[in-house]
């Protein structure tokens, strides 16, 4: 079973003006597709070919002989998760159990936003900002390159891609503006709520 590129869960122009169709076309059709193609090359005719992405990530993390496999498997997983972290007319603040959990673990939604913005802004070079569940507690984390919370035994709930290819066509070097637009206009709290409920 070869790994496949999943389609975007919305049209290319659905997130405009915050994320342009041009950015999504490059990001999904070139970058994400490239990771899928590389992963299939790396795993063809190996014992990893029949494993799930999650199993490949956990089996290859920190294995110096499998760096290429890990990087591509994790990037395939991260990007698929990222597309679902976005939605047209998203943003704002969450409600229900997710809102209660954020208030309990961070003190307030504003404190969560502050921590998330800080993680996404200060991730040096390429990487990701996450909201993850760690032993039952919500945490904001950041990871370099392809790393993700799965590799660290945590449950990812939300991510923002802060590799330059995620925002450069729209925001150039203004990463903080991209982060702000994500939180205010396109973050998919329904997806985060589903992930929290599934982890409970």
Contact of 101 with 196, CB cutoff 8 Å: yes
CA neighbor of 79 nearest in space, from 124, 28, 136, 10: 28
Q: Where are the domains of the chain?
A: 21-84, 96-199
pLDDT band at residue 155 using 50, 70 and 90 as cut-offs = very high
> What pLDDT, on a 0 to 100 scale, did the predictor assign at position 1?
60
Give domain 21-84's CATH architecture. Answer: Orthogonal Bundle (1.10)
> Is the pLDDT reported for residue 102 higher than 90?
yes
Instruction: Inform me whether the pLDDT recorded for 132 exceeds 90.
Output: yes
Nearest CA to 119 out of 74, 75, 176 is that of 176
Range 8-33 average pLDDT: 98
Q: What is the pLDDT of residue 47?
A: 93
Torsion of CA 104, 108, 114, 116, to 10 degrees: 40
Q: Are 31 and 72 in contact (CB under 8 A)?
A: no
What average pLDDT score do residues 91-98 get? Answer: 96
The model's confidence at residue 151, banded by pLDDT at 50, 70 and 90, is very high
Q: What confidence score (pLDDT) does residue 200 get?
A: 79
Percent of the chain with pLDDT over 70: 100
- Count CA atoms closer than 13 A to 189's CA, side-chain side: 17
Average pLDDT over residues 179-198: 98
- Class of domain 96-199 (CATH, top level): alpha beta
Distance CA 179, CA 181 (A): 5
Q: Is the pLDDT of residue 126 over 70?
A: yes
């Amino acid at each position: 079973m070869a790994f496949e590129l999943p389609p975007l869960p919305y049209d290319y122009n659905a997130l405009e003006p915050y994320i342009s169709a041009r950015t999504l076309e490059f990001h999904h059709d070139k970058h994400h597709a490239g990771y899928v193609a590389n992963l299939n090359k790396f795993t063809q005719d190996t014992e990893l070919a029949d494993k799930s992405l999650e199993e490949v990530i956990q089996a290859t993390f920190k294995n110096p002989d499998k760096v290429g496999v890990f990087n591509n498997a994790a990037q395939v997983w991260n990007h698929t998760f990222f597309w679902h972290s976005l939605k047209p007319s998203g943003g704002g603040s969450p409600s229900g159990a997710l809102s209660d959990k954020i208030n309990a673990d961070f003190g307030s939604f504003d404190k969560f936003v502050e921590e998330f913005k800080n993680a996404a802004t200060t991730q040096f070079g390429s990487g990701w900002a996450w909201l993850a569940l760690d032993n039952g507690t919500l945490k904001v984390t950041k990871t370099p390159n392809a790393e993700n919370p799965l590799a660290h035994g945590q449950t990812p709930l939300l991510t923002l891609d802060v590799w330059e290819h995620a925002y450069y066509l729209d925001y150039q070097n203004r990463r903080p503006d991209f982060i702000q637009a994500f939180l205010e206009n396109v973050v998919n709290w329904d997806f985060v709520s589903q992930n929290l409920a599934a982890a409970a």
